[in-house]
Amino acid sequence: MITPDIEADAYGVVAAKTWELRCTPVVIGGTADHLHLLARFPSTVPVARLVGEVKGASSHFINHRLGQTRRFAWQSGFGAFTIATDDVPALSSYIREQKVHHARQNVVPMFELSDSDATSVQPR
């Protein structure tokens, strides 16, 4: 779980790995059990590589550097999609307000999908 005491450090590792891959993290936000990353990245970086390396680096950091008592691991899948430039401000706000959306149970289902359940929702 991403607890409040490790959240800033974990998100920092996510941002650092994103930059290391020559991508630009626009916003990172989430809840105790998942996070959202809005990033700009070149066509030379496959989405699966970005996600895999971010998950690997952050898991390693949480498990080995933060001294967690329980082993941390991300879920096996992920959700990814492209958005229009005009949609960046709205999605950025949604990601920043993840805790509020989940607490009020007013999440946007399309933004909460992973690859294991993406086939059940049709894009608009």
The CATH number assigned to the domain holding 85 equals 3.30.70.1290
Number of domains in the chain: 1
> Can you tell me the distance from the alpha carbon of 33 to that of 30, in angstroms, rounded to the nearest whole number?
8
> Can you tell me the distance from the alpha carbon of 59 to that of 71, in angstroms, rounded to the nearest whole number?
9
Average pLDDT, the chain: 81
Predicted pLDDT of residue 102: 53
Using pLDDT thresholds of 50, 70 and 90, give the confidence band for residue 107: low
Predicted pLDDT of residue 32: 73
Yes or no: say if 119 and 82 are a contact pair by the CB < 8 Å rule.
no
Yes or no: say if 25 and 14 are a contact pair by the CB < 8 Å rule.
yes
pLDDT tens digits, residue range 63-97? 887 776 778 888 888 888 888 999 999 889 888 87
Q: Which domain holds residue 100?
A: 4-120
Using pLDDT thresholds of 50, 70 and 90, give the confidence band for residue 11: very high
- CB-based contacts of 82: which residues, under 8 Å, 6+ apart? none
> Can you tell me the distance from the alpha carbon of 57 to that of 37, in angstroms, rounded to the nearest whole number?
14
Is the pLDDT reported for residue 13 higher than 50?
yes
